[in-house]
Amino acid sequence: MNILSRKEKEELRQVLMPLVDDLHRVALSFCHDENAAEELVAATVGKACESYRSLKDRSRIKPWLLRILSNMFISQQRTKARHPHVEYDEIENDKQNQFSLFEQISQPFLLWWGNPEREIMNKFLDEDIQKAIESLPAEFRIAVVLSDVEGMRYQEIANILQIPLGTVRSRLARGRSLLQKKLWHHAQDLGIILRKAHRHETIQTQHSTH
């Protein structure tokens, strides 16, 4: 263990303690489990203490801590081997990046007397959306959480994860696409959206009655 001097320890405490709630919140968004989030924060703080001397610009402590947190999370997920490492070159050309829940549920002929897309979205509980996030592989989950849950800009995410802007965009596009696909399947399971064959029949019936 790399022991910090009393001065370093006090300095780290001063900057770290105000950020604990932020780290905990992001960890909860990644894991959606109180115990797992606590473990992730603890592992992050442990790693931060070990590496604190290597941090050159101490005004950049927040992105540095979030990077450690994200890397720890990816590493934990890989250890669990449920979400293997993703090859990003393959993703660039993957048409599945473009799955759109809207395109699946949009019914243009209902234009004047309904908004089914909004109605369906209102039927999702926060829990449904959280579960869809949880289903994402770690790298995509991190991009979606940092951008859409935390409200960070692409450049901030690129700085935290130390990846190019293009990679942030592609991870986000892939993450959003997978998230929407998950919500679509979930909505079908719940009967919020009719399965395709049934829906086709319903549409035919609605057409013939209007």
Partner 1 sequence: MKQSKRSIQPISCEEALSRVFDFIDDHLRGKARIELEHHLETCRHCFDRVEFERLLKSRLRKLNVNVHSQKVRKRVETLLDQF
Q: Could you say whether residue 117 binds partner 1 (CB under 8 A)? A: yes
Print the binding letters for residues 178-207 with partner 1: x by CB under 8 A, - otherwise. Answer: --x---------------------------
In the chain, % helix, strand, coil (3-state, to 5) comes to 80, 0, 20
Q: Could you say whether residue 176 binds partner 1 (CB under 8 A)? A: yes
Closest CA to 101 of 73, 58, 132, 69: 132
Q: Which is nearer to partner 1, 23 or 74 (CB)?
A: 23
Q: Could you say whether residue 75 binds partner 1 (CB under 8 A)? A: no
Contact residues: partner 1, CB under 8 A: 1-4, 9, 12-13, 16-17, 20-21, 24-25, 28-29, 37-38, 41-42, 45-46, 49-50, 100-103, 106, 108, 111, 115, 117-118, 121, 124, 126, 129-130, 133, 144, 147-151, 153-154, 172-173, 176, 180
